[in-house]
Amino acid sequence: MKRILALALMSLVVCLCVRGQRLPETAVPESYDLTFAPNLEKATFTGDETIHVRIVKPASVVTLNAVELEIQEASITAGGETQKAAVTLDTPKEQAALTVGRALPEGPAEIHIRFAGVLNGKLRGFYLSKSQRRSYAVTQFEATDARRAFPSFDEPAYKAVFRITLIVDTGDTAISNGRIISDTPGPGEGKHNLKFSPSPKMSSYLVAMLVGDFVCREGGADGIPIRVCSLPEQKEMTGFALEASENILKYYDSYYAIKYPYEKLDHVVFPDFAAGAMENVGTITYRDVALLIDPKTASYDAKQQVAAVIAHEMAHQWFGDLVTMKWWNDIWLNEGFATWMAMKPLESWKPEWNAKQQEIQEILGALVNDSVASVRTIRANADTPADIQALFDGIAYGKAASVLRMVEAYVGPEVFRKGVNAYLAKHAYGNATAEDFWSQISETSGKPVDQIMKSFTEQPGEPLVTVKSACRGDKTQVTLTQERYVADAAKLAAGSHELWPIPVNLQPSANKRPVYHLLRQKEETFELPGCSPWVYANAGSRGYYRSSYEPAAFAKMSAEVEKTFSPEERVRIPSDAWALVRVGRMSIGDYLKFLQNMQGEKSREVVQVMIGHIQGIHDELVAPADRLAFEKWVRDLMKPMARDLGEMPVAGEPAERQALRADVFEVLAKYGRDPERIEKARATAGQYMKAPESVDADLAGKALGIAAQNGDAALYDQYVAHLKTAKTPEEYGHYLQALGAFPDPALAKRTFDLVLGPEVKNQDLFALYFPLINYEIQPVAWDLFKSNFPTILKKVDSADGVGFAQVASIFCNAKLRDDSQKFFAEQNLPGTKRILENGKDNVNACIQVRDLQQKNLSAYLGK
């Protein structure tokens, strides 16, 4: 699955108070014959299945997963005898036990079940999706919701072949994992019967069934038919996705030794989708904003995000679908790999998108997540659906991908690729564990990858490598120390027991070749040839650790940061420095001086990191008395960059430059409070409302936000009206997000009412996050969140504790911290214990930075 931060926050796929449990190992499925007849009008379905199983040991009870299904009839045939089975449902465990009178012998057996269910409105299982015109029947099964559509062995290791038949209305079509192999009229008036080719062996969570009037744009690559299917009225927005998909498939076919392993590839978009997208075998499903691109109005970022989601889901066809983790504790084998892989085809297809620098941004995001004292390890136990859901987080995606990037750089990309291919070949159509992967890479590379990966996978947190270096004649003596970095000065000072074998890539001053040192001890001293005035400890920037330097060495490095370091390294250096600011090991004044050295920066990804820190200072650190001085500092810092970029887009300039111009514009208006730019944002927002295609696409969303930040109820009314008539998902998203930016608390209430009312879909509940992170109205938004919480739960019919509890991490004061902790503790939502602990640590870290640095900031700004 693809979780974008905001989506992850309020995804709606976990149930309330469910205690799931592993199935007993009595029977193993080999194939399913499944027939479904959905009734879209009544929002119900009936099903009939035969599961071909192998009985592993003689038993009179076979237990499957099933929930919210009415089992009408069940029988088991084995040893030439068919017995009617008595069905006992265990709803808390989400299981159905089928009991027969005489024990089933070891060997093959057939389970036959007739069942019925409801096409629910909760975006999971087999559910109802609604456009303005009509309804669709669609599925979303990961992690544990196939059992809501059919009784099944719903655990990832029970791979089987699925033969699916769908009986649908004559005017409708259906899409599933296989292609349609027969289409016959009936049974009954107004129906036709669509049979799909058998799936390869796969896990139940990867089954997909979609029913409605989908239309498809067709293409292909390397002999594989590719389609992008949508509602008919959206077809003109599917061209970009098809082009991206064709290019990505060609890249993956050249990267992997195993070519795309399925007979076709469909991308399907429909309304009401909880996650960003889902990698079902041969049929990837999407929410609208993650797939549709309007060629007339799409921004640079929207195109990149769509391509990145497609690349992520397609990577899963190998990592996750072909080779699947044995159990959810290794979900990172799916999500970490798909995240690691996704940037590669984009780099090849669109080099101008700077995918390499975006990879470093991803690493930095992971390091921030991982700096929380109570953070989990990459590999973590989970047995209940809620605990499993909680594993789909920044650690499984970002940290796992970052550790893979470090190891790939250490062993060399070609060797790594060889190892990856050997691993895929060994486990194709089967399941694997973390050990399977890292033993393979160790074997292929001859390097201790198993030790490195085990330590990063089974220990929480991230290392901080501190470098001391000094010239000794024609050599440089280097001392490296490692400690666990925690964004908490007191805990950091208390020391840590973690020890990682870290492949540290050392760059001994400019123009010298980097050299790896595998740091195994807490402290190691060694010599490098030549006299170097400084030694940078993360050459190429792909190491999963922070680094810090003696002040004199850092000063020398930062003086030449623009000319000596690559864009990937320049993305990283301010972030590592900021990590030291957070724990009081660098003064914020020194950090701001360092940013001034980067005023000539041209790379958008580097500037985005700088802007992220400026936002953090603006929202959480500046004392009210220093606000004007800080705004002036922001203007002084950014105006030369703005001048260099010019005011208006220039024909033929790179798209990146245009997008960077919009970023710089935004920071000047939002954090620099530059009156001219605020005025221009208002005008741009007005123009966008009249004719979206007439406005700089990269500026549009930002201008709406800035205008909202300075706007009133009249403007709010206009945004709401345009939200309701938005023609593209991006346009809709711009308005939805901007509603949260108004500073008037009364408008926050209206946003809650709107988002929780009938006009905004359940999939967009995450919009409540926007007023919550708006620091001007945060306390009011939090009160609204609490008072509306029963409505929120009712709307999703189940507490996604995992998503909601993340709200407890966004505050920066003791009162809201304590209140939010208390509130969520009282809700007793499943799967949230660790998330609440992480939240408390996050808020404490934020409060602590303010305590440590606010005075330093005042002193710096006042001088």
Alpha carbon distance 186, 179 (integer Å):
19
Helix axes 833-862, 588-596, angle to 10 degrees: 70
* Paired tokens of 265: 């590839």
Instruction: Using alpha carbons only, give the angle 584, 589, 593 rounded to the nearest 5 degrees.
Output: 130
Residue 838 makes CB contacts below 8 A (sequence gap 6+) with 372, 374, 375, 809
List, in sequence order, the alpha helices (H) in 459-548: 489-493
Smallest distance, Å, CB 763 to Zn ion? 17
The letter for the amino acid at 130 is K
Rounded least distance, CB 190 to Zn ion, Å: 38
For Zn ion, the closer of residues 274 and 700 by Cβ is: 274
- Answer for the pair 241, 267: CB distance below 8 angstroms, yes or no: yes
Amino acid 698 reads D
Give least dist CB 667 to Zn ion, A.
31
Q: How far is the CB of 211 from Zn ion (least distance, A)?
A: 24
Give me the least distance between CB of 316 and Zn ion, in Å please.
Answer: 6
Where are the strands (E) in 80-188, listed by range? Answer: 81-84, 86-90, 95-104, 107-118, 125-130, 135-140, 161-169, 173-176, 180-185
What letter does residue 648 receive in the DSSP assignment? S
Identity of the residue, 311 or 843, whose beta carbon is nearer to Zn ion in the bound complex: 311
CA distance 572 to 361: 8
Q: Check if the beta carbon of residue 333 is closer than 8 Å to that of residue 430.
A: no
Rounded to whole angstroms, the Cα distance separating 853 from 841 reads 18
Task: Find out whether 517 and 530 touch, Cβ atoms under 8 Å.
Answer: no
| Residues across the chain | 863
Output 392 or 423, the one with its CB closest to Zn ion.
392
Residues that bind Zn ion (CB under 5 A): 1, 335, 338
Nearest CB to Zn ion, comparing residues 398 and 567: 398
Nearest approach, Cβ of residue 278 and Zn ion (Å): 8
DSSP assigned state of 398:
I
Catalytic residue among 94, 142, 279, 313: 313
Are the C-beta atoms of 717 and 750 separated by less than 8 Å?
no
Nearest distance from C-beta of residue 838 to Zn ion, angstroms: 21
CB of residue 313 to Zn ion, shortest distance in Å: 7
Q: Nearer Cβ to Zn ion, position 59 or 333?
A: 333
Return the number of the residue (1 or 535) whose C-beta is nearest Zn ion.
Answer: 1
Q: Please name the amino acid found at residue 567.
A: P
Alpha carbon 581 to chain centroid distance? 27
Do the Cβ atoms of 441 and 279 come closer than 8 Å? Answer: no
* Distance (Å, whole) CA 759 – CA 687: 25
Residue 154 or 313 with smaller CB distance to Zn ion: 313
* Residue 341 near residue 552, CB atoms below 8 Å: no
Report whether 37 contacts 109 (CB < 8 A).
no
Radius of gyration of the chain (CA): 28
Query: What minimum distance in Å lies between the beta carbon of 252 and Zn ion?
Result: 15
CA distances from 217 to 226, 234, 314 (A): 8, 11, 18
Least CB distance to Zn ion at residue 3 (A)? 8
First to last CA, the chain: 50
Q: What share of the chain is helix, strand, coil (3-state, %, to 5)?
A: 45, 25, 30
Q: Is 313 an active-site residue?
A: yes
Q: Which is nearer to Zn ion, 335 or 730 (CB)?
A: 335
Closer to Zn ion at the Cβ: 38 or 345? 345
What gap in Å lies between CA 528 and CA 525, rounded to an integer? 10
Q: Cα separations (Å) of 189 from 179, 183, 363?
A: 24, 15, 57
- Indicate the residue among 420 and 557 with the shorter CB distance to Zn ion: 420
Closest to 550 (Cα-Cα) out of 585, 512, 588, 506: 585
Q: Which residues are catalytic?
A: 313
